[in-house]
A and B are shown apart, each in its own frame.
Chain A
Amino acid sequence: MISIRKTGKQALLLSAIAAITFTSCKKEDKVSTPIEDNPFVLSLAYQGSDGTFTYYTLPVNDVMSGTIKEEGEGIEQPGYYDFTQIEDNIYSIGGLDDVDLVNIRQDADGNLTEYGDISFANSLADLIKADANTLVGVEMRSSSDQIVFHTIDMGTVRISNTVNHKVTDITSLKGPNYAGMRVSGNYLYLSYYIGDPTTFATPTVDTAYVAVFKYPELSFETLIKETKIGSIGGFNIKSGLITDEKGDVYALSHMNPANGYSQSSDSTGMMKIKSGQTSFDEDYYFDIQAKSGGKNATHLVYLGNGKVFAEMNAEDVSAQSRWSDGPLETAIIDIYTQEITFVAGVPQHAGTGRRLPAVHTDGMVYLPVTHDDGDIYVYQIDPGKATAKKGAKIEANFVAGLFRL
């Protein structure tokens, strides 16, 4: 990302020019909407007719009525971006050319501002919270032979430590694709699935892999291999692992062609690694497909007390169209009791093939859903009742993030 902060003096000059000259901008002067203390924030993606994307991150007070669109208030980021929220901070990962990590936070006046100047040469597969004041980011892609961890101080948004690992120290298979990452106790769990870097085919799907690193040292500890379930995670959706309040790590295998798999096995479902352990708990296996009537969970958001918000692929793997991330149905899963309750009132929809832009706040889950005609609406889902209410219409090509600060 190339923001004004990088261009220093030039930026001042440009702003001055912009201020004193007529430009192509047809924007009318408008009064900024007053921003609540804890607004919803949307990162909206707009596609140009040349196929390129620009992202706008804007605060919204009400996501349950009216129409939400970018009208000259959002933080502009052209290129490719992934957005994630950690506590009261939104992080944009991506860029136009290089890869930056920018912290979007509310300033004293309540306005959203960009903060930080971290810049990577390669893409960051994910960014998670590791401890009270530390984030961990990982550089990982199937075409690279390096896995690089960065620890980041949340307050200063500066990198405090970087650790490189050769892929060959962990696996001889080519190449590991990021599936999910969690820190629990003294370990960092990094799950991956094997995908060919050139063809994106998945040549081996019969084993679940979780690499375990010591935290905070980030030294390689061991590789957990498990054949009771197959490959963990899917292309670009980053929800292969979740953790509960106890620190237990749950790994999800779906092998959905809709999420990039060129072949699948029947060994789908969920297993767990008990907090502080370096192997799967042989006593826990959740056969999601059997419990749901043949449907696989794809995207997960942990809500609490064993309850998980899930986007389930409605089709059997044999019927899914590859890379479609759909059709999805919304469900509430209890990973303790292994119950699945489908949510009424959310139409079947396709995902965006990205990190799920859902937010859990005030006991409700808010999820943007694309209707068949291409229109996007926010749905408010009550996980307790498994019901949904349709809210505001969003005028954007897709929603890259929905957050609550």
Chain B
Amino acid sequence: MGRKFVLLLFTLVSLISHSQSGNLSGKVLLDDGMPAAMAHVMLVGTKHATITDQNGKFSFEGVTKGDFTLQVSYVGMKNYWQQLHLPLNQPLNITLSNNEELLSDVTVAVKSVVRETEELPYAVTAIDAKPLQNLNLDVNQALNTVSGIRIMEKGGLGSKFTFTLNGFSGNQVKFFMDGIPMDHFGSSLSLNNLPINMIDRIEVYKGVVPVHLGSDALGGAVNIITNKKRNFLDLSYSYGSFNTHRSSLNTAYTSKSGFTTRAGLSHNYSDNNYTVLAPIRDFDEHRVVGEREVERFHDRYRSGSARLELGVVDKKFADDLLFGILASANDQQVQTGATMSSVYGGITQNSKSVIPTLRYSKTNLLPGLDVRLNSAYNFSESQIIDTLRGVTYNWLGDTAYTPGSNDGELQRTFTTLTDRSASAQLNANYTINPQHSLALNYSYNYFKRKSFDTENLDKPSNKFPRSLSKQIIGLSYQYDISEKWRAIAFGKLFMMNALTYKQLDFALETQRTEAVRNGKQNFGYGLATYFFITPKLQLKASYERTSRLPDPDEIFGDGLFVNANPDLKPEQSHNLNVGANYNTSLAKNHKINVEGSFVYRNATDLIYQIVKPSSPETSYGNVSKTRNLGVEGNFRYRFKELFHLGGNITFQDITDRADSIFNESYNNAGYQKNYQYGFRLPNTPYLFGNVNAGVSFKDVLAKRTTLGINYYFNFVEQYFLSWAELGSADTKKVIPRQNSHSIELTYSLQGGRYNIAFECRNFTDELLYDRFYLQKPGRAFYVKLRYALDY
């Protein structure tokens, strides 16, 4: 596959070399020297019109010789005109000047990339990471403030988590880093350890996923966009409670000739030795003798990653051509099982990945044609280790030893998973004219896994490697009906091909192993539109009929006890979002943004593992159906640069809509009435929200300083582990209502070059749970030092 892409790249490069005559290119800067992204650039009286990219760059191809007028317009800036005699030998450098008159007009605001993203017809939330970079955050914590998202963590730094978006979770939501799917990156490059300082912004697509992120997501996608500044240095270190150290270095250098280097290093360490209220088991009496506040003693987490990208930017043949390598590793002690009733002192897991990447992009490769290619190859290896024999721990850290026992703490294992995966995404955008454009995406993913357990040599999965390839083709058509009204229609074709081996006639003379292949395909389609009723009030609606293709494990099982189900269908969902967004200023300095949306999800054929009490054998089936009727609301208020207040709330009524459940052991048909039809899904938050407020003072104690104080509040209503409708009140297992409060103080000097932040998280020291009976950290303090330089 790799070879094909090299070939493709050469083809692209040769195409470019044939079409380079009569070019006009340049860069548009704002008056402060920052690039002007999304500025409109046109040659008056010609068909040549475009908008600048994130770096302020534009180019026209195939421009004839002669005299022209170049016009550049940008919200909040004075329009710019320049007489040109083409061809030019050098790219243009244009600096716009501030339009004070226009800025004072309350109807116009400068739109950032984040704002532009949020105005797309999709149900999309963009998180601007820049204001968060002084804080001790990872991507998860930033995402957890978005309506519709709940990240349920099992513990402290690096702990396992479940990401849920409008009720979808696991592989139903897809993650990308700069457009590269993160599916097989491994746990060492994950939302719980990526430092916020390497990130420019995060885009969350709810329900409807644009074709350019070619994927078979069932319920949405998250795209993490790393910092793309050409020349910068960002160095940070934080230290805090539970012996937590986090450091990151991110830098980029671009020479005048266009040679560019981007590099990043990050490191996370925590003992996670926070105090929990835990049941103490007495080994002699085999009973829980009471509950005590104890320190977690086997929960250390370490991770590190390094990134390097080398290449060229702003060349005739490429806006970006970057070769990169990502390397990461983590290791983690495992303290508890599914709840705190089980406590471990020897179980560990680790993961390491090496990921070479290649990125290429070119706007106006041919007139109106923009091309982008993202590809990655992933080598990763992860291990689960439970090799203590005959040892049992309790929460006091005491052990009981059974001489001669070979039993592990949970289940004795030393399993190594060896994964290889490749992914490539090719996007082509063709602007037919300013009103009509087409986008095509082709994405290819290949995944292969081998697993080996040295403690259980007979394990079936030792013998059966699994592989899966997926191809997704998406086509979308965008029509700007008017300046106020945009519509995008799209279709997607999903194809997969999976391969594994299955053992037949186990333990009989005819026992044999056979290769099993399985191919599936499915279509998806959708529509997204917005309409500005007034420049301040935007209406949005988007709908997608989506599919998620089954994973190899789901189709094939493990070769023996998890049986294959060749009839397994993709999971499907109808996703609809309807929303409105109102932006206004009450008076000159009071800016208000209110957003509300209605969320509808109707998911069918959901895949789950069928459990049979009578048998160790299981398989995956398409039985479950759920429906989500939800509403989300966001509010933001800002008074000058001095004060801001924001919040959001999510209510999601996710109900079970399956008529039947499947369990072969009850009768020959396997299907049985689902007695929970219409019940709200248990163990799922249904009402949650966030509030944040902050003040910011300039020039405190010294010039060019900023002092900020921010307060964060996070709320999740109590929910039940099992159905609310069943069980007597005094025996119900609850995940209690969560109220957590955090406060931070930041001080920046020299216009943001030197920064120091103090944070107190969960300052009321609440008992916090995301998962049933898995307590999260209590009150914690952090300090973060950061040096940031743009040059």
Binding site for B on A (CB under 8 A): 2-4, 6-8, 10, 13-15, 17-18, 21, 23-27, 46-54, 56, 69-78, 95-98, 114, 116-122, 143-146, 150, 158-159, 162, 164, 166, 168, 196, 198-201, 203, 235-236, 259-260, 262-263, 322-326, 349-354, 370-375, 395-398
Contact = CB atoms under 8 A, between A and B. Distances in A.
Interface in B501-529: 506-508
Given A49-B658, A374-B672, A201 B506 contact: yes
Contacts of A203: 507
B339 interface: yes
Contacts of A350: 665-668
| Closest CB pairs A-B (n = 3) | A353-B614, A76-B727, A323-B615
Interface stretch (B37-45, B249-257, B398-406): B398-406
B665 A95 contact: no
Interface string B684-699: 0010000000000000
Nearest to B732: A76
A145 B406 contact: yes
Given A146-B402, A395-B675, 5 more contacts: A78-B721, A117-B289, A159-B287, A200-B561, A397-B661
Nearest to B409: A121
A396 B663 CA distance: 13
Interface stretch (B19-27, B107-115, B431-439, B733-741): B733-741
A6 B279 contact: yes
Given A51-B610, A236-B613, A397-B661, A24 B680 contact: yes
A352 B672 contact: no
B772 interface: yes
Contact of A6 (B288, B405, B725): B288
Contacts of B726: 46, 54, 56, 70-72, 74, 76
A339 B680 CA distance: 52
Interface stretch (B89-97, B267-275, B712-720): B712-720
Contact of B506 (A162, A199, A325): A199
B134 interface: no
Contacts of B456: 198
A235 B405 contact: no
Contacts of B405: 144-146, 166
Nearest to A80: B613
Interface in B662-685: 663-669, 671-676, 680-682
B338 A97 contact: yes
Contacts of B664: 324
A145 B404 contact: yes
Contacts of A374: 666-667, 669, 671-673
B617 A21 contact: no
Contacts of B402: 146, 164
B32 interface: no
Contacts of B760: none
A98 B281 CA distance: 11
B66 interface: no
Contact of B669 (A72, A159, A354, A372): A372
Contact of A3 (B669, B724, B731, B767): B731
Contacts of A352: 613-614, 665-666
Contacts of A2: 339, 341, 733, 772-773
A21 B687 CA distance: 13
Contacts of B767: 10
A323 B665 contact: yes
Nearest to B336: A97
Contacts, number: 264
Given A14-B734, A95-B341, A350-B667, A159 B286 contact: yes
A352 B613 CA distance: 7
B133 to A, nearest CB: 37
Contact of B667 (A48, A196, A235, A372): A372
A323 B617 contact: yes
B415 interface: no
Contacts of B614: 235-236, 259, 323-325, 351-354
A118 to B, nearest CB: 5
A124 to B, nearest CB: 10
B606 interface: yes
Contacts of B634: none
Contact of B731 (A114, A120, A143): A114
Given A8-B291, A78-B722, A162 B613 contact: no
Contacts of B561: 200
22 contacts: A2-B733, A2-B772, A3-B733, A7-B277, A8-B291, A13-B736, A18-B734, A46-B676, A49-B624, A71-B725, A74-B726, A158-B285, A162-B284, A198-B459, A198-B460, A199-B507, A260-B615, A351-B614, A373-B669, A374-B673, A375-B673, A395-B673
A6 to B, nearest CB: 5
B637 interface: no
Contact of B675 (A3, A95, A396): A396
B560 interface: yes
Contacts of B734: 14, 18
B587 interface: no
A47 B773 CA distance: 21
A348 to B, nearest CB: 10
A318 to B, nearest CB: 13
A49 B606 contact: yes
B204 to A, nearest CB: 24
Contacts of B669: 372-374
Contacts of B674: 49
Contact of A14 (B291, B392, B406, B736): B736
Of the listed residues A50, A349, A353, A372, the one surrounded by the most CB atoms of chain B closer than 10 A to its CB is A50
A396 B727 CA distance: 13
A96 B667 contact: no
Contacts of B661: 47, 49, 397
B462 to A, nearest CB: 10
A393 to B, nearest CB: 11
Nearest to B390: A146
Contacts of B342: 97-98, 121
A398 B663 CA distance: 10
A121 B613 contact: no
B787 to A, nearest CB: 43
Contact of A17 (B287, B459, B718, B729): B718
A88 B719 CA distance: 34
A352 B560 CA distance: 22
B722 A54 contact: yes
Contacts of B737: 17, 21
B118 interface: no
B728 interface: yes
Contacts of B610: 51
A398 B666 CA distance: 7
B183 interface: no
B613 A398 contact: yes
A397 B672 contact: yes
B653 to A, nearest CB: 9
A260 to B, nearest CB: 7
A106 to B, nearest CB: 14
Nearest to B285: A159
B616 interface: yes
Nearest to A259: B614
Contact of B718 (A23, A50, A199, A262): A23
Nearest to B687: A24
A179 to B, nearest CB: 16
Of the listed residues B341, B611, B616, B676, the one surrounded by the most CB atoms of chain A closer than 10 A to its CB is B341
Contacts of A50: 608, 624
Of the listed residues A4, A48, A349, A371, the one surrounded by the most CB atoms of chain B closer than 10 A to its CB is A48
Given A6-B291, A96-B339, A145-B407, A15 B663 contact: no
B776 to A, nearest CB: 14
Contact of A54 (B291, B723, B730): B723
B728 A96 contact: no
Nearest to B666: A370
Nearest to A260: B615
Contacts of B101: none
